[in-house]
Structure 1
Amino acid sequence: MTSKRFLLLATLAASVSLGGCTGYRENRGFIMNEELASAVQVGTDNKASVERTLGRPTFTGQFNDNEWYYVSRKTSTFAFRTPRVTEQSVLRIRFDAAGNVAGVDRTGKEQIASIDPYGRSTPTLGRKKSFFEEFFGNIGTVGSGGLGGAQPQQ
């Protein structure tokens, strides 16, 4: 009887511990409807009609307000790993000065850039100081009048 109880408890403990290792998928950003996205036509639509059809964009151009971006991304994750992008769709709509659609472009997952940081510290130019030089180096250099180096107002 005890071996059956032990086996049951071991199976229960294993299933509970492995339950946290399941993978999951997630949709992020704009949910792309292909029929609505393909309905946007160059020369026919303007900013108001695009907003009625697709809604507000995910973001606008940083240097040009006449570029709207709709970004959709699907990711998958296993356990506690970093999410991996499985699908990405970026719809860029460009407008002319009058607010009419001048171009519609699509890109996908190929535009994702992976940036690796350089080590654990940022390289700097100049002299390297020790901890004590950094800590005690500013004593007497902040100012000469009063506490804290502030000059009294007259």
Structure 2
Amino acid sequence: MALVTTGCASIATNRGYIVDETLFAAVQPGIDNQQSVRGTLGQPTMVSQFGDPVWYYISSRTEQAPFSQPRIEQHNVFAVQFDEAGNVISTDRSGMEQVARIDPESDTTPTLGRERGFLEDLFGNIGTVGGAGPGAAGGGGR
């Protein structure tokens, strides 16, 4: 019975930055700069590409039951914003309230243009293969 029970247990996986509350609390606006933040928290997970420089430290904890999709159980984003001189302006935390659950799987894929039926999909290319074009007879390819 113990073997069956362990086979049905969920698998927990930590991804990204490993959260340490003490280190996050040590980063203080007006006191720290980019060098001290890198020394305290390490390399950021992601750095903003536009606007003010912001470093993001992202972590997620997922659980996956057997024969199912992984599900995010815990998500943390710690953002450190810097001024032009590299000094910390502000810090911000967000969590699960920012996670959007989407279902990318559906029966149809929307496309631009007209709708084609099954027979048009099946027989739509008959006559177009080997037609006049560069290198074909009458195509003026040379």
Work out whether residues 28 and 73 of structure 1, in 8 Å CA contact, stay in contact via their aligned partners in 2. Answer: yes
Q: 1:135 aligns to what SS in structure 2? A: coil
Q: 1:45 to 1:138 in 2, by over 3 A?
A: farther
Residue 135 of structure 2 is matched in structure 1 by 146
Q: Tell me if 1:131 matches 2:121.
A: yes
Residue 10 of structure 1 is matched in structure 2 by none
Distance 2:34 2:127 in 1: 58
Distance 2:126 2:51 in 1: 48
Q: 1:48 aligns to what SS in structure 2? A: helix
Residues 31-70 of structure 1: matches in 2 within 5 Å?
31-64=18-51, 66-70=53-57
Of structures 1 and 2, the larger Rg is shown by 1
Unaligned runs of 5+ in 1: 1-13
Work out whether residues 52 and 81 of structure 2, in 8 Å CA contact, stay in contact via their aligned partners in 1. Answer: no
Q: 1:110 to 1:21 in 2, by over 3 A?
A: same
Residue 119 of structure 1 is matched in structure 2 by 106
Displacement of 1:37: 0.8
TM-score by length of 1: 0.74
Aligned-residue sequence identity (percent) comes to 42
Displacement of 1:64: 4.1
Q: 2:22 aligns to what SS in structure 1? A: helix
Q: 1:106 aligns to what SS in structure 2? A: strand
Q: 1:132 to 1:54 in 2, by over 3 A?
A: same
Q: Return the match for 1:82 from 60, 63, 69.
A: 69
Q: 1:134 to 1:47 in 2, by over 3 A?
A: farther
Distance 1:40 1:108 in 2: 18
For the aligned residues, what is the CA RMSD?
Answer: 2.7
